[in-house]
Structure 1
Amino acid sequence: MKFYTAGRDAMAKLGLEITPEMERVEPTYPVYLNDYYLGLIDPADWRNDPIARQSLPDPQELADLSSSYDPLAEEEQMPTPHLIHRFVDRVVLLATGRCAMRCRFCFRKRAWTSGMELADLSDEQLAGAVGYLTAHPAVKEVLISGGDPLMLPFGRLKAIVDAVAAVPSIQVIRIGSRMPVVWPERVTAEIAEYFGSIPGLWFATHFNHPREVTPEAAAACGRLVRAGVPVVNQSVLLKGVNDDAELLEELFRKLVAIRVKPHYLFHVDPVRGVRHFATGVEKGLQILRAFRPRLSSLAVPTFAIDLPEGGGKVALQPEYGKDGEYSDIFEQKRIKYETGL
């Protein structure tokens, strides 16, 4: 797999010249991209291409100087390095800062900035995380994220998962990885079979657009599913990428067809360098309304926002009724519902 660390080289691969405005973005928000994902871009319409918008520099990234690099207050909620403890029963363990590509909407975009890069989890830091989990048995679930933990050598990834799984109180481990989307061949049969051997292990991936559900991506997810690993998907609602009900319906139908459950649809976080992707919460609610008569619960994710200041996730729903009267699924009539209370 070839990786590109300059927008100029990535654009040249597409047969295009990078604009000076795009190049000015890179000292602040560098490009990191691979051949596979680059190959999903349509060069004929790259300025409007949803894959390009997720992966190539955009001058709008430099427009917002007022937003926080860490609006979710992750740094403040790290009791030990690389471990974020926000919710009572679950934590996030940051295994690495490396990814197979730098998604331009990344909510940890602060880690791209010089002096703030996240290194790989060291043995000492892993021991500290395990010690914290052992001392806090109320924590039942660990999300191993990053970066992307599948960027680590298999032996190192296995050591981290084994160490977490050995904590008696841990019942569920989630692996957060975009590899099926951006580097599907990295999800090897060996990795899938290992994950399938760990009780309570789930795999959370991140498809945003139906064009990302390629035969290669489907095969990567299939290796996990056949190994007994439940796979869920988290999408981000992104202006100019997927802020359309019909397009997201296509995405979620494709995911369910390959046995990947749409889990969350997030409104983009108010992160510096990212806010040009924001659609507004109302757009997400409109999309949910469009899904109501058209998609089963298997295909409809929870729409949520992640509150600043470490406030956690809030699930949102459109308003369908009040005073005991509710709209039918086509919103053509109001129906009274008697509770008997």
Structure 2
Amino acid sequence: MNAPRTLRYPAELVESGLVSAEKLPALEDVAARYAVAITPEIVGLIDPADDADPIARQYVPDPAELRTTPDETGDPIGDKIHEVSEGLIHRYPDRVLLKFVHVCAVYCRFCFRREMVGPQAPHLTPQALENALDYIRSHPDIWEVIASGGDPLVASPRRISELVQALADIDHVKVVRFHTRVPMVAPERVTDALVASLAAPGVTGWVAIHANHPREFTPAARAAIARLADAGIPLVSQTVLLAGINDDAETLGQLMRTFVENRVKPYYLHHGDLAPGTGHFRTSLAAGQNLMRALRGRVSGLCQPTYVLDIPGGHGKAPVGPSYVETTPEAVSVEDYRGGKHPYRPDKIRTES
């Protein structure tokens, strides 16, 4: 019997029963523009009988992806504006983002780099990587390097270890952070060798794990996360707010609790970026703020991510969560998690000596 394989073509989605045959021509049009890959781990989670299945919506191509609105762009967060060397983005003063690879284990249908990743994307050559490292060496303000792509954990442990060691040899680089879906979608890749490759003397390795729905935490995914956590690697989360997937308080709250139960600290809840063909996933900012209000006080403080918008045009992330403070010339009012408002008059408060 053949081992389960990653599905990469719409015809394979039909053969596997994930989509009906009549959808094949439309999905082939989508696949001609945007890469498709669904790992066996994810295939096993999809309910083909549920047209609104939150797992399928993340990974199975949809004809809606070919509908582009005027405000959508192939570079929604302005990577190119801040690209200082091929594959190296220097947007913030103390950190850079390195597009270590340009492929992923799966291709999310809402990806903000969907025009830049996939089997057709050019690989980062050894010379381009060396040029990026030279830039990092020559900028002592760079304290952290974020390995992204693509998904950096699809690279071999040898390549990852070589990268980490090269960064550890740079005195001013102290943190290397990996952004990945691999523990959730291809947990078998999280081997002892891969875990060992993520850190070296002189730098601290962090891993940011991307998941958007509680069902993604399969037993294998939980075991992969545990291997990272047991090795002492600090773990944080990334989630994209997605219509029809996690845009309700119950699902989002359970997702954040599940992260914490698995020793992953919720970090960012991203508002959907203006990537081409992703409008059917985006919520309004007001909807996201209402969800954050619903989480506040109802789930542990450990479970509270920061809701952020990556400002179009390359201006960086900004927190866009709700405000609980209202200030007027006469008074300050603070809102509690139930919606009650309370005056706060620090000038009236007497401190004990």
Deviates more, 1:5-14 or 1:174-183: 5-14
- Counterpart residue number, 1:278: 282
1:44 to 49, 53, 56: 49
**Cα deviation 1:75-102 (Å, max 9, x = unaligned):** 2211111100000110000111111011
Poorly superposed stretches of 4+, deviation over 2 Å? 14-18, 20-24, 112-115, 193-199
What amino acid is the match of 2:300?
Answer: S
- Please say if 1:125 is aligned against 2:128: yes
Gaps of 5+ in 1: none
2:99 to 90, 94, 98: 94
- Counterpart residue number, 1:171: 174
Aligned residue for 1:176, secondary structure, equals strand
- Counterpart residue number, 1:79: 84
- Counterpart residue number, 1:68: 73
2:335 to 312, 321, 327: 327
Which whole-Å CA distance do the structure 2 matches of 1:330 and 1:15 have between them? 43
- Counterpart residue number, 1:35: 40
> Whose Rg is larger?
2
The number of aligned residues is 337
**Cα deviation 1:158-206 (Å, max 9, x = unaligned):** 1112112211110111011110111011111222133255532100110
Asked whether the equivalents of residues 238 and 279 of structure 1 are also in contact (C-alpha less than 8 Å), the reply is yes
RMSD: 1.7
Asked whether the equivalents of residues 234 and 266 of structure 1 are also in contact (C-alpha less than 8 Å), the reply is yes
- Please say if 1:338 is aligned against 2:342: no
TM-score by length of 1: 0.94
Asked whether the equivalents of residues 238 and 267 of structure 2 are also in contact (C-alpha less than 8 Å), the reply is yes
2:5 to 2, 5, 10: 2
Change in Cα spacing, 1:314 to 1:49, as seen in structure 2 (3 Å) is same
Instruction: State the shift of 1:65 in Å.
Output: 5.1
1:9-24 equivalences in 2 (<5 Å): 9-14=12-17, 16-18=19-21, 19=23, 20-24=25-29
Asked whether the equivalents of residues 77 and 84 of structure 1 are also in contact (C-alpha less than 8 Å), the reply is yes
- Counterpart residue number, 1:189: 192
- Please say if 1:288 is aligned against 2:292: yes
Which whole-Å CA distance do the structure 2 matches of 1:178 and 1:271 have between them? 19
What amino acid is the match of 1:194?
Answer: S
Gaps of 5+ in 2: 349-353
Instruction: State the shift of 1:27 in Å.
Output: 1.2
What amino acid is the match of 1:282?
Answer: A
- Counterpart residue number, 2:351: none
Which whole-Å CA distance do the structure 2 matches of 1:122 and 1:337 have between them? 58
**Cα deviation 1:10-50 (Å, max 9, x = unaligned):** 232136424133333221123222211111101221x2111
Asked whether the equivalents of residues 160 and 198 of structure 2 are also in contact (C-alpha less than 8 Å), the reply is no
Which whole-Å CA distance do the structure 1 matches of 2:187 and 2:233 have between them? 16
Which whole-Å CA distance do the structure 1 matches of 2:168 and 2:198 have between them? 11
Deviates more, 1:218-227 or 1:313-322: 313-322
Asked whether the equivalents of residues 268 and 278 of structure 1 are also in contact (C-alpha less than 8 Å), the reply is yes
- Counterpart residue number, 1:139: 142
- Please say if 1:265 is aligned against 2:272: no
